[in-house]
């Protein structure tokens, strides 16, 4: 297709001439090799020798074969400085900060949002009073899918799984009395279009409170993979246009809200939809590469752009795989930034991430078992060096979490942080023969998949063609068969299932029709009191900006200032870009 | 004599805002494995789902829902199905995450099955039974 070198080719070319300093002496390795052979043939039992390698099968696992025992021979060429180094230094395998959690504990960021904007404000304040160190907003489906609360599509779904936001006034209620210049907010605007519409409402709210945008800490998701690939929806715009909006948002935020993390490259939802831990990371990394290429094309300095880029990962049940994955992608991202993009600032080379424990690995059967699953997953994330954490609640296979389940999740984090002492030592598993071999293997596999994507024309192309959609569908179908035939063991469901199993009475969030009506009344009033001519002008300007190729957020900001609603802006985008049909529906 | 229609045809859909599709893809795979013909139409308003069911001459309509609206939109769906005359000869099933206490109400408005979790055998059995009831013994 073109002669551009792939990321892997560039990295390999740049690393090849570097002289390596192996940690192990040839003599020692030779001796270990002889002894290993003797031990394996005489001490290890025949069946263990024959099944030396096993492949773990787990939900959304990566099926990487594991040996019975790892030794220096598993990583015989290890060069300590080149491959591991010290924490806070290249290649950042051991962590992005020299002192890691001794300097600052991971941010305990429990996702929350349900009920009216007022209720959301009350519960976010309660979580902060219990020691949460940031807010993390779940938006309701109408808001995520960019419909106003009073559109026919929103019927029955307003405020069910998150907070509804139609306009700036809702932002003002959600953030009332929260010091938004001190407490960082993770606003889970999954999609580029959703970010372009909702985030300016946050900025206008700050403006009306007299708070300078320079001081605002937080993050948005803004990931076109979420909008064009992972989600299900009734309307899509073409992935190429969606990718452009993602980049427009980044450019605007970088210029105007300097402390804001403008993209969270979301591996999480892709993996939870149904893919391995390798594909999760490869897709997010490939999107990151494409963004940085586009920003360079737009003439921006790579370090100016890259220092605020962040990732979002899903740790599942295979404990050591999860620890190794975090280390592997940290080293790979460093190599990409250093060699592919020639970044100069250390911060640009950091793979910083938020982690949420895996929802699809939870079961409806015996839901208290989910407390254990989530705790192990959270521990793996911390041992892997995550910056920020959400622990799923045990009742999430039933409903959005109850107040007490949500508190238990926060307590799980606090126990890891304050009682287990795992945060005292940086990268405590580093140097383990097993962990290092697995880290190498995973890094290689991620880069292989990035290479595969690049050779097919890059991330936008593999989304547009449906190649990634079908990869996920195959994964989901195969995984389901493996659960049905017991190859994947799920305790309490298909393994050691209680023959007298009864589904427990778990609290579930109930739909409150009143909120839907109240949101509708508010919109009706808003449409009467605002300057509707100004609204039309702003929307027309937005459509034209989309068509001309101007940065869309400049225009959605003006829309927000004029009290344009979310649904109105969504329709402007559709008018400008037209509809796209994802290649999975027949 | 008309040739017997031997493959059960299932139309799978979600209500307009539903963002999750792991469930519907999982069930589509199960039903294909069970030898049924599956048409996946994605997110649509109740009117469009019924229109598609008529166009496709589906024996079964399956709805996947995670984020609420199952009662409000399920009621709308059944109303349109009745108006268009397919409620009595089409089996309606629904699965996903919703309050368990809504199950009796969902059955009352016309769903032959409302599943919070189920394996392939349970879903297939429910479909076969519902079809027998709806289409009579012949």
pLDDT tens profile A227-240: 999 999 999 999 99
Give the number of other Cβ atoms within 10 Å of residue A95's Cβ.
Answer: 23
CATH for the stretch A81-484: 3.20.20.240
* Residue of chain A whose Cα is closest to the Cα of B34: A481
pLDDT in tens, chain A (586 residues): 467 899 999 999 999 999 999 999 999 999 999 999 999 999 999 999 999 999 999 999 999 999 999 999 999 999 999 999 999 999 999 999 999 999 989 888 777 766 899 999 998 898 889 887 788 888 999 999 999 999 999 988 899 888 999 999 999 999 999 999 999 998 989 999 999 999 999 999 999 999 999 999 999 999 999 999 999 999 999 999 999 999 999 999 999 999 999 999 999 999 999 999 999 999 999 999 999 999 999 999 999 999 999 999 999 999 999 999 999 999 999 999 999 999 999 999 999 999 999 999 999 999 999 999 999 999 999 999 999 999 999 998 888 888 889 899 999 999 999 999 999 999 999 999 999 999 999 999 999 999 999 999 999 999 999 999 999 999 999 999 999 999 999 999 999 999 998 888 777 777 788 999 999 999 999 999 999 999 999 999 999 999 999 999 999 999 999 999 999 999 999 999 999 999 886 5
The full DSSP string for A258-299 is TTEE-EEEE-HHHHHHH--HHHHHHHHHHHHHHHHHHHHHTT
Residues in chain A with CB shorter than 8 Å from the CB of B9 are none
Write phi, then psi, for A309 (nearest 5 degrees): -85, 135
Given phi > 0 = left and psi -120 to 50 = alpha, else beta, which region is A96?
A: alpha
Q: Cβ contact (<8 Å) for A141 and B68?
A: yes
Is residue B33 within 8 angstroms of chain A, CB to CB? yes
C-alpha span between A165 and A137 (Å, rounded): 11
> What SS3 class is residue A571?
helix
If 0-12 CB within 10 Å is exposed, 13-18 middle and 19+ buried, where does residue A495 land?
exposed
Q: How many CB atoms lie within 10 A of CB A564?
A: 27
Separation between Cα atoms, residue A401 and residue A387, nearest integer Å? 23
A174-228 pLDDT, tens per residue?
999 999 999 999 898 999 999 999 999 999 999 999 999 999 999 999 999 999 9
Mutate to test the interface with A, among B10, B17, B64, B99 (most CBs of A within 10 A): B17
Cβ distance A510 to B99 less than 8 Å, yes or no, reads yes
Q: What is the pLDDT of residue A2?
A: 60
Q: In which residue ranges of chain B is pLDDT below 50?
A: 1, 137-138
Interface of chain A toward chain B, CB-CB under 8 angstroms:
140-142, 144-145, 147, 152-157, 160-161, 231-234, 272-274, 360, 364-365, 397-399, 472-473, 476-477, 480-481, 484, 503, 508-511, 582, 584-586
Q: Which residue of B has its CA nearest to A140?
A: B67
Residues from chain A that touch B116, judged by Cβ atoms under 8 A, are 364, 503
In this complex, which of A147, A160, A232 lies closest to B20 when CB atoms are compared? A232
- Which of A265, A259, A369, A375 minimizes the C-alpha distance to A315? A375
Q: Which residues contact A382 (CB under 8 A, 6 or more apart)?
A: A101, A106, A389, A416, A417, A422, A423
Sequence spans of domains, chain A: 81-484
Closest Cα partner for B58 from B129, B111, B10? B10
3-class state of residue A230 by DSSP: helix
Tell me the residue length of chain B. Answer: 138
A39 contacts: CB under 8 Å, gap ≥ 6: none
DSSP state of B6: -
Q: Looking at the complex, does the CB of residue B103 fall below 8 Å from at least one CB of chain A?
A: no
CA–CA separation, A135 and A128 (whole Å): 8
CB-CB under 8 Å, A153 with B69: no
Per CB-CB distance under 8 Å, the chain A contacts of B73 are 155-156
Task: Give the up-direction half-sphere exposure of residue A426: CA atoms within 13 A in the CB hemisphere.
Answer: 19
Q: What is the pLDDT of residues A261-307, one digit of tens each?
A: 999 999 999 999 999 999 999 999 999 999 999 999 999 999 999 99
What is the 3-state secondary structure of A512-532? CHHHHHHHHHHHHHHHHHCCH
CA A584 to chain centre: 23
User: How far is the alpha carbon of A118 from chain B, nearest alpha carbon, in Å?
Assistant: 20
Kindly report, residue by residue over A406-425, the tens digit of the pLDDT: 899 999 999 999 999 999 99
Reduce the DSSP state of residue A550 to 3 states and report it: coil
Q: Angle of helix A239-256 relative to helix A277-297, nearest 10 degrees?
A: 70
Rounded Cα distance, A295 and A289, in Å: 10
Look at the domain B9-133 and name its fold: Rossmann fold (3.40.50)
Which residues of chain B does A486 touch, with a Cβ-Cβ cutoff of 8 Å? none
State the Rg of chain A over Cα: 25
Are B99 and A585 inside 8 Å of each other by CB?
no
Q: Does B10 touch chain A (CB under 8 A)?
A: no
Ranges of each domain in chain B? 9-133
Cβ contacts below 8 Å, chain A against chain B, sum to: 111
pLDDT tens string A344-364: 999 999 999 999 999 999 999
* C-beta atoms of A585 and B40 within 8 A: yes
């Amino acid at each position: 297709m073109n002669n551009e070198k792939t990321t892997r080719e560039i990295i390999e070319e740049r690393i090849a001439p570097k002289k390596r300093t192996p940690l192990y002496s040839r003599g020692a390795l030779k001796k270990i090799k002889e002894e290993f052979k003797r031990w394996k043939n005489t001490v290890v039992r025949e069946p263990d020798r024959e099944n030396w390698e096993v492949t773990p099968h787990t939900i959304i696992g990566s099926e990487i074969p594991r040996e019975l025992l790892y030794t220096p021979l598993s990583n015989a060429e290890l060069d300590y400085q080149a491959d591991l180094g010290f924490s806070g230094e290249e290649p950042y395998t051991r962590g992005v900060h020299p002192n890691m959690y001794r300097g600052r504990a991971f941010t305990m960021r429990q996702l929350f949002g349900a009920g009216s904007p007022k209720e959301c404000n009350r519960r976010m304040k309660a979580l902060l009073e219990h020691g949460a160190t940031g807010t993390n907003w779940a938006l309701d489906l109408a808001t995520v899918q960019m419909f106003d609360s009073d559109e026919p599509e929103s019927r029955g779904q307003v405020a069910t799984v998150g907070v509804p936001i139609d306009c700036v006034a809702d932002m003002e209620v959600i953030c009332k009395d929260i010091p938004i210049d001190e407490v960082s907010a993770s606003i889970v605007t999954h999609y580029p279009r959703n970010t372009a519409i909702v985030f300016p409402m946050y900025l206008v709210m700050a403006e009306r409170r007299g708070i300078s945008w320079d001081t605002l800490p937080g993050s948005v998701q803004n990931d076109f993979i979420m909008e064009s690939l992972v989600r299900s929806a009734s309307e899509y715009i073409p992935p190429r246009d969606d990718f452009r909006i993602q980049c427009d948002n980044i450019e605007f935020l970088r210029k105007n809200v300097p402390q804001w993390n403008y993209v969270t490259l979301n591996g999480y939802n892709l993996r939870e939809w149904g893919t391995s831990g390798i594909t999760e990371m490869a897709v997010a990394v490939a999107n990151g590469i494409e963004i940085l290429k586009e920003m360079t094309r737009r003439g921006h300095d790579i370090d100016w752009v890259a220092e605020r880029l962040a990732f979002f990962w899903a740790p599942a049940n295979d404990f050591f795989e999860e620890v190794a994955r975090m280390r592997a992608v940290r080293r790979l991202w460093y190599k990409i930034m250093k060699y592919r993009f020639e970044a100069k600032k250390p911060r640009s080379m950091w793979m910083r991430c938020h982690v949420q424990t895996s929802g699809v690995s939870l079961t409806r059967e015996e839901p208290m078992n989910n407390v254990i699953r989530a705790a192990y997953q959270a521990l793996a994330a911390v041992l892997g060096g995550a910056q920020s954490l959400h622990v799923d609640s045990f009742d999430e296979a039933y409903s959005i979490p109850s107040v007490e389940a949500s508190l238990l999740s926060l307590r799980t984090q606090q126990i890891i942080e304050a009682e287990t002492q795992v945060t005292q030592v940086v990268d405590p598993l580093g140097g383990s023969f097993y962990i290092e071999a697995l880290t190498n293997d995973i890094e290689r596999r991620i880069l292989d998949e990035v290479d595969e994507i690049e050779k097919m024309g890059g991330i936008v192309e593999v989304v547009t063609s449906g190649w990634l959609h079908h990869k996920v569908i195959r994964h989901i179908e195969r995984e389901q068969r493996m659960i049905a035939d017991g190859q994947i063991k799920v305790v309490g469901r298909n393994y050691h299932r209680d023959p007298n199993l009864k589904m427990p009475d778990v609290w579930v969030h109930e739909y409150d029709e009143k909120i839907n009506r109240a949101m509708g009344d508010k919109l009706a009033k808003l449409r009467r009191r605002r300057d509707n001519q100004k609204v039309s002008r702003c929307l027309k300007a937005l459509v034209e900006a989309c068509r001309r190729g101007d940065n869309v957020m400049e225009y959605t900001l003006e829309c927000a200032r004029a009290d344009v609603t979310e649904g109105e802006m969504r329709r402007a985008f559709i008018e400008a870009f037209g509809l796209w049909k994802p290649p999975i529906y027949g | 004599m008309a040739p017997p229609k031997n493959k059960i045809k299932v139309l799978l859909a979600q209500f307009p805002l539903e963002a999750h599709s792991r469930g519907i893809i999982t069930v589509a795979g199960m039903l294909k494995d069970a030898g049924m013909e599956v048409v996946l139409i994605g997110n649509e308003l109740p009117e469009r789902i019924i229109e598609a069911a008529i166009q496709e001459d589906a024996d079964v309509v399956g709805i996947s829902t995670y984020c609420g609206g199952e009662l409000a939109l399920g009621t709308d769906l059944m109303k349109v199905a009745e108006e268009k005359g397919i409620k009595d000869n089409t089996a309606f099933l629904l699965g996903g995450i919703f309050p368990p206490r809504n199950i009796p109400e969902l059955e009352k408005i016309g769903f032959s099955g409302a599943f919070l979790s189920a394996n392939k055998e349970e879903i297939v059995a429910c479909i076969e039974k519902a079809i027998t009831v709806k289409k009579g013994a012949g």
